[in-house]
Amino acid sequence: MYVIEPWNDQAILPPPVNTFRGGQQIDVQDLLHLCNNITKILSKQSPLHKESALLSRFLYKFDKKFRNDIGYRHFKKLNTALRKYLQINLLKDIENFAVVIPGNNDENYLPTRQMLEYILVRIMTFAKIMMRICVCSKQASIYYMDRVKRGESHWMSLMPYALLSRIWSITTVLLQHSCTWYSGLYPYLKKLIFKGIDFLPANYTLPTDLGKWIDIENIDEYGRFEWSHKKDIPITMQLSEDELTLDTILEYVTDINIAESKQDSEQMKIEPPKEDIINIDDKVDQGEIISREYFKSFFNNQSAKEDRKESKHCADNVTNNKSLDSFITTEEKYRNEDSILSLTKHLSFMQWHTLKTSLLNLKESLSNNRKIERKFKKIWKEKCLEYK
């Protein structure tokens, strides 16, 4: 039967809080200073949280265009690892452990060995997640850097590449810190007293050196692809990994854009006809070039004016309830047909709806024809003519 290791167990529970009366052989102030240092570093990780939030926005933005891209899949793996980091909440565990450590004026009651074992296990989990984030960010950045080299969606690849670089640098520093924390807390295991039930499974021992256990010395070898480091593959961009900086990348992208613009300009050049060249005097007015639609608009405006003169559809004809009904029905018909005879063509749908509602309310509230005519002109002026 396969047994899950404590550092990989999501359902692991902390041991009960117990204390014992310590002796002079334990440096309590050094242990408390080490816990306070861990708390201080973990409480200042807002930049990593902001980068995680920005990464989730990129996932939402690139989901449709790059959903089948291999680099995008590694991008999603990185997002999963960052969510695991937010779930472990190592800061709270360290704070709960530091509360039990006595101060200068307190009695010398120290936490048990099981409580320190739990803290070491949580640091191992933290280090493994940081290692996973480093590997995923490096693998994803290789694919996005390859897109930049090939000039394929380079502007949409530079932003994720910069984001992955920042996440990789932050997590690498946190990974080194976790190894330092572990090496500082591990010697206290032999000094603290075992009290209560066992916390770790039988025949399981904690590693003495977290750096060797996680192989931090060879961290640069993780996340590499053979195809991305073969020398026999011809690459047009003469840049090595050590020389890749923001300036060189932007210069390379700028050169690509300049070359493409030159090719487009050469293709768009049209040679003028060599024959039938007419020399026109500079003093002669050559006129102005206009579009065909603008030329047709002159005739449309003239025909529209003539149609409006012949049409009986006019706001001045509204004098009673019957004429008001006829006006609203005709106007709505012209608006639906997008006719030039519509008097409210310049109004939006909501503005016309407001005007129509006011006119219908006017019809229901007033029965005197003289009042209807006066109120109609007032509403027509406020909600139609003043919007022009």
135-155 pLDDT per residue, tens: 889 888 888 888 888 877 777
Residue 231, pLDDT score: 46
Residues 227, 230, 234, 236: is their CA dihedral positive or negative? positive
Residue 175, pLDDT score: 92
Read off the pTM.
0.56
Section 321-346 average pLDDT: 82
Pick the range with the lowest mean pLDDT from 181-185, 208-212, 294-298. Answer: 294-298
Pick the range with the lowest mean pLDDT from 71-85, 312-326, 357-371. Answer: 357-371
Residues facing residue 109 across a β-bridge: 21
Residue 233, pLDDT score: 44
Q: How does pLDDT run across 67-109, given as a tens digit for each residue?
A: 777 878 888 889 999 999 988 889 999 999 988 888 776 677 8
Helices (H) and strands (E) in the chain, counts: 12, 2
CA distance 143 to 148: 9
Q: How does pLDDT run across 16-57, given as a tens digit for each residue?
A: 888 887 766 778 888 889 999 999 999 988 889 999 898 888
CA distance 222 to 142: 12
CA distance 102 to 109: 6
CA distance 335 to 133: 60
Q: Of 208 and 217, which is predicted with more confidence?
A: 208
Three-state SS at 79: helix
Section 357-374 average pLDDT: 75
Helix (H) or strand (E) holding 274: none
User: In sequence order, what are the residues at sequence separation of 6 or more whose Cβ sits closer than 8 angstroms to the Cβ of residue 4?
Assistant: none
21, 28 in Cβ contact below 8 A? no
Three-state SS at 21: strand
Alpha helices in 279-320 (DSSP H): 292-310
Residue 29, pLDDT score: 85
According to DSSP, residue 109 is labeled E
What rounded mean pLDDT belongs to the chain?
A: 78
Report the residue count for the chain.
Answer: 388
